[in-house]
């Protein structure tokens, strides 16, 4: 790698870059949650948001030099796995009864 | 080198996330989500979390995404029909989203101490030994509670998957 190239790019990354990346991913997840109408894609947007939060946990764990953030993101992964199992079972049942995946058509609980 | 790796995988993550939201077919969205999760695993490695990176790949990109792809294939989910969405909402929401991201980023950058930097190899406390010790001493009660949570999730999935609901 040429020397001037390594001078432009710092060898250490600021912590805020990780946090900004996490914020960007979370915002994209919120946008997907709000804009998409396919229930599976909405579910995947939720997973994206959980991943973004995990990145913040791990980044702060590095900053504080403690392992607690890793434990928290581990618990978030466990909850996400449980949520995916139950949520996908609910989606299967809804599809069996309604034969649709559009969230606009699943509105029988609407006032 | 650190910055190069970070920028590469952060770029992949953001592009895959945008692709997830923009694709109409659920399978394309699922593959983009796998891309996001894989690049996030590399970022965890850069942050010194070897265990959490492995778990991210095995549990998230492996198990959870396979579950998603199974359900998409089982339901034979096709592409989402394009409905004529009002262009006003798109014209308002996309600039608002960008403004929100820029505000959030400026807030984060102004609040974090400028000396806080991430250098690969400076924190090695995220290995299996350290995580396991913390998990089985300090966080033993929450760890046991997750086993109950998983049991409830299994029961819920079995009950929901019965024929006569």
From first to last of the 111 residues of chain A, give the pLDDT tens digit: 555 555 566 678 888 899 999 999 999 999 999 888 889 999 999 999 999 999 999 999 999 988 999 999 999 999 999 999 999 999 998 888 888 888 888 888 877
Question: Which burial class, exposed, middle or buried, applies to B67 when counting CB atoms under 10 A from its CB (0-12, 13-18, 19+)?
Answer: middle
pLDDT of res. B121:
78
CA atoms within 13 Å, Cβ hemisphere of B47: 34
The tokens for A88 are 């996908």
Q: Is the pLDDT of residue B85 over 70?
A: no
> B112 and A29 in contact by Cβ < 8 A?
no
**A61 interaction partners in chain B (CB closer than 8 Å):** 47, 49, 126
pTM of the model: 0.90
A 39-68 residues inside an 8 A Cβ radius of B: 40-41, 43-45, 47-48, 51, 54-55, 58-59, 61-63, 65-68
**B96 interaction partners in chain A (CB closer than 8 Å):** none
Which residue spans within chain B are E strands per DSSP? 117-118
Q: Are A21 and B14 in contact (CB under 8 A)?
A: yes
- % of chain B residues with pLDDT over 70: 96
């Amino acid at each position: 790698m040429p020397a001037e190239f390594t001078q432009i790019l710092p060898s250490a990354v600021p912590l805020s870059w990780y946090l900004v990346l996490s914020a960007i991913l979370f915002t994209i997840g919120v946008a997907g949650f709000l804009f998409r109408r396919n229930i599976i894609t909405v579910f995947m947007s939720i997973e994206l948001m959980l991943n973004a939060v995990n990145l913040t946990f791990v980044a702060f764990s590095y900053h504080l030099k403690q392992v607690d953030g890793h434990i928290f993101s581990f618990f978030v992964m466990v909850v996400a796995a449980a949520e995916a199992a139950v949520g996908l079972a609910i989606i299967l049942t809804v599809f069996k009864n309604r034969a649709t995946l559009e969230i606009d058509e699943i509105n029988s609980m609407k006032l | 080198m650190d910055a190069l790796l970070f920028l590469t995988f952060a770029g992949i993550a953001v592009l895959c996330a945008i692709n997830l939201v923009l694709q109409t077919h659920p399978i394309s969205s699922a593959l983009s989500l796998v891309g996001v999760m894989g690049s996030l695993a590399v970022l965890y490695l850069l942050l010194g979390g070897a265990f959490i990176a492995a778990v991210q790949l095995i549990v998230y990109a492996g198990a959870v995404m396979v579950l998603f792809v199974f359900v998409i294939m089982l339901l034979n989910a096709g592409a989402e029909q394009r409905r004529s969405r009002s262009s006003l909402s798109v014209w308002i929401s996309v600039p608002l989203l960008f403004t929100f991201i820029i505000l959030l980023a400026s807030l984060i950058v102004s609040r974090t101490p400028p000396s806080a930097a991430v250098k690969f190899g400076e924190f090695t406390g995220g290995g299996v030994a350290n995580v396991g010790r913390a998990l089985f001493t300090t966080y033993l009660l929450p760890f046991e509670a997750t086993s109950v949570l998983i049991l409830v999730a299994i029961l819920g999935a079995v009950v929901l998957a019965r024929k006569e609901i």
